[in-house]
Chains A and B, each alone.
Chain A
Amino acid sequence: MIFYILRRILYAIPIAFGVSIVCFSLVYIAPGDPLQTVMPPDATAETIEIVKHAYGFDKPIPMQYLIWLGHLLTGDFGMSISTRRPVILEVTDALANTALLAVFAVPISFITGYAMGVIAGCFPGRWLDRLVTGTAVIGVSLPNYWLGIVLVVFFAVEYALLPATGMGPSGSTNFHILEWSSARYLVLPVFTLAMIPIGILARTTRAAVAEVRNQDFVQTLRAKGLSEGAVIRHVLKNSLPQVMAVMGLQFGYLLGGSILVETVFTWPGSGFLLSKAIINRDVPVLQGTILTLSLIFVATNLVVDLLQSLVDPRIRRA
């Protein structure tokens, strides 16, 4: 077991490096000079040279990568071009706001999606299954940014029950999760965000449960005289690894924040930061945000893999 954990952790390291290379190269797939958009059009060649030197753009690209990586390892993600604040602060502030959404969206979507999938998987072909499968397919096909807009029209414009966008008058500094005056800003974005994971989880769980139910050992359990409840317990345990893999992916998706949902609700999270960075062509923030979110995603997948191997020892040998 320890060997497996070590191997799995070692395996995540080259992936993390690969991710950093992709993030680094984002600057160079952009058309034109990375500095072009930041510099005023009438800047003299001399000024451009100075700025180039200051940002290290005059060095060879592999050198630039190593310097950039070195800075990353010491927690220096560079400075935002548009706000002049350290990127790391921008990213952590935004992540905290996104985490606020995720804290609610994760349990809501996981419990709902899993419960729906189990119910559907236990009664394949029945009306309950059809209802769940239908709802799930709607969940994965809905453009969630559109759902967000429709919800705003309904709850904020027509009935004025909930605020349309933002985090309240004082922003994230004065946000108290336990007070309804703050928490009500969470309702619509959390619901919108949870929709897709609910659909995906319900579908995966249903498929996994239905598949395990068809295996021979379930027949044996019934033949042994186990009650239906006990049989279902066995089925659920055996379908768990598959479900956990998908939960891990969705956890990463929710933690990364949906850039679309956060844009619709102007929620100052990591997705919103990313879209601002793209509009302002703020490359350090773009790189920093994507790198942080992807590393979180890598770490989540690592944890899920380890958890899976706890639930199902067969995975360890693979």
Chain B
Amino acid sequence: MSDIAIDKPLETVDEQAVPATQVRGYWRSVVYRLRHDPATLFFTAILLLIVLAAIFAPLIAPFDAYKDSVVARLKPIGWRDHLLGTDELGRDMLSRLIYGGRVSLMMGVVPVLIASLVGGLLGVVGGFAGGRINTAIMRAMDVFYAFPSVLLAVAVAGAMGGGMGNGMLALTLVFIPPMCRVAETATTQVRSLDYIEAARATGASTITIIRYHVLGNVLGPVFVYASSLVSVSILLASGLSFLGLGVRPPTADWGLMLSTLRQSIYVVPFVCALPGAAIFITSISFNLVSDGLRAAMDVRM
């Protein structure tokens, strides 16, 4: 990472956060700032808990998330051993929420990852090549920009007939254009800087220049932007499942649980609100961690 940090124009050390006498590398100052940001640390811990719970779901879930029971349907919070009650088929809510995190997190994170790769690559290529190639790429992206994001996701997922894979594909399609734009802007900014010219003069190939001198400047903004998209992606993914365009029953997923429990809202209102609360907590944690990262990495967009 050290050679990336050297040519980082973002390395304007925040004078308030780091005393002028201390000279640090870019990443060390990022870590320093993160460590002194209690709110970000707190929400990172919450996220870690959610992720760990999802990964180790079979170990920590108190009940079988798919075992239904006719007698234990729609029980309130704290009924018998069911800490968070049961759903409309008598399945344990806590276990389903833990398992639901697997699907919801995956549908939130995977599209953003793929979109960062594809969109980032397109943006770097376009920004570095410039000229007609750039125009062609960016105009194509503009077409997808013309759709409101929710609408595009719903339209594509709906036309393809729903399902988890189609839902993730639709979300990826929604996130590629903004990702591409962020990468393109960052690339265009460094492309005209003197040190790129210097690298070229020393005989560095295009690939080398992109790899050592451009990527380092693009990764920061792309990473920060991607982290802010995860929260949007989780909301959209749950929204798709809520509309019946995401995962299918009986799979445990927060959006789908919210949708099926909606009918029972008069019976056990608090239990029905739980999946939404799970979505909200995850989404706000990603948002705040992303804000903290942006401040610590000093990325402006």
Contacts and interface: CB of A to CB of B under 8 A. Distances in A.
Interface in B126-174: 139-140, 142-144, 146-148, 150-151, 154-156, 158-161
Interface stretch (B20-28, B66-74, B91-99, B277-285): B277-285
29 contacts: A14-B139, A18-B139, A19-B146, A22-B143, A26-B159, A30-B159, A30-B160, A30-B161, A137-B284, A137-B288, A137-B291, A138-B284, A140-B231, A143-B238, A149-B272, A152-B265, A153-B272, A153-B273, A253-B148, A256-B150, A258-B150, A259-B151, A274-B154, A283-B159, A290-B155, A294-B148, A294-B151, A297-B147, A301-B146
Contact of A141 (B146, B269, B280): B280
Contacts of B147: 19, 22, 290, 294, 297
B287 interface: yes
B292 to A, nearest CB: 11
B161 A31 contact: yes
A interface majority secondary structure: helix
10 tightest Cβ-Cβ pairs between the two chains A and B: A146-B276, A18-B143, A141-B284, A278-B158, A141-B283, A26-B159, A298-B146, A256-B148, A143-B279, A290-B155
Contact of A15 (B142, B156, B159, B235): B142
A146 B279 contact: yes
B258 A149 contact: yes
Contact of B151 (A29, A138, A290): A290
Contact of A157 (B244, B265, B284): B265
Contacts of B239: 143, 145, 260
A275 interface: yes
A19 B142 CA distance: 10
A260 B242 contact: yes
Interface of A: 14-16, 18-19, 21-23, 26-27, 29-31, 137-138, 140-143, 145-147, 149-150, 152-153, 157, 252-253, 256, 258-260, 263, 274-275, 277-279, 283, 286, 290, 293-294, 297-298, 301
Contacts of B273: 146, 149-150, 153
Contacts of A27: 159
Contacts of A145: 239, 242, 258
